[in-house]
Structure 1
């Protein structure tokens, strides 16, 4: 089993037991001994924080590499089942849905939280959205890692986090699909 550096007894890191259990499951799926784990599942995986846990940045980096491997396998499988043209057609359709959302006016791209509820800072999300629009329209360089790791400050009355996160997941899916 792969082990990661730990954060030490006075800090909190990812639960070693949970990480190890997840990686055991991932290995079984990768080796074909099990099913039921996808690249999206890997991206959405979260672990409890515990004292003397694994260093989060090391685990996150490994999960990103694992997601890339699973996404590549899924892409190859889908291409062989659907055919190259159909596969890219679906990726283009998803990209168009994303672009349609991103082309909405600033401060109106996503549903807003109530005035007393925290959401994502609208100006920061809109700035990143503008980069993504340029990525899709002009080929501006944006990496999958940038999309995976972007963070936004909280803001009362900001954008609903779930909607923004879902769009970022979709952007990641499209970027991985066309690599």
Structure 2
């Protein structure tokens, strides 16, 4: 299968050519099947990772394509739920998730997540807190914030910073809510 992704330089790391091509072929097949029992979901696409290889596909370009693919699968999942009991259930889940995220992010700055030990590196608390304020304004006041901004949020490292796994789980939840209400 040929793709349109540019390749990284021969001595620069990029995504595995075989893994990306295989994943895209399976994603295309899953999308074409278009049944309610899809094996591939928007959430699964968000958590897809590829091995790195010299001269592989440009991570920036592949990541952008995965974001568009995730949006397409999320849209299809939402359409499938329209008017069903599943839609009401999913809507309630999205409200509960939104509420849980707001509760977490409404904590005082510096105390929104668990911290790593002084000997370990985590996300810089001030960076995360600044971004958390944007999310709160989005959820509470309807301020502009895109799923892409949440997906691509980058935080500097800091000794004794916030635990990365906790922050990442909350950001995934925010993206789930955003994709459902879109």
Tell whether the structures are fold-level matches, with TM greater than 0.5.
Answer: yes
1:159 equivalent in alignment to 2:162? yes
* Per-residue CA distance 1:50-98 (angstroms, 9 max, x = gap): 1110111110111000000011111122334326544433211111011
Instruction: State the SS of the aligned residue for 1:31.
Output: helix
1:60 equivalent in alignment to 2:63? yes
User: How far apart are residue 35 of structure 1 and its match?
Assistant: 3.9
Report what 2:48 is aligned to: 45
Q: Judging changes above 3 Å, is the alpha-carbon distance between structure 1 residues 50 and 112 closer, same or farther for their aligned structure 2 residues?
A: same
The answer for unaligned runs of 5 or more in structure 1 is none
**Range with greater deviation from structure 2 (31-40 or 2-11):** 31-40
4+ residue segments displaced more than 6 Å: none
Report what 1:116 is aligned to: 119
Report what 1:5 is aligned to: 6
What is the total number of aligned residue pairs between the two structures?
179
Instruction: State the SS of the aligned residue for 2:158.
Output: strand
C-alpha RMSD over aligned residues: 1.6
The answer for unaligned runs of 5 or more in structure 2 is none
Report what 2:18 is aligned to: 17
TM-score (norm 1): 0.94
**From 125, 131, 134, the counterpart of 1:131:** 134
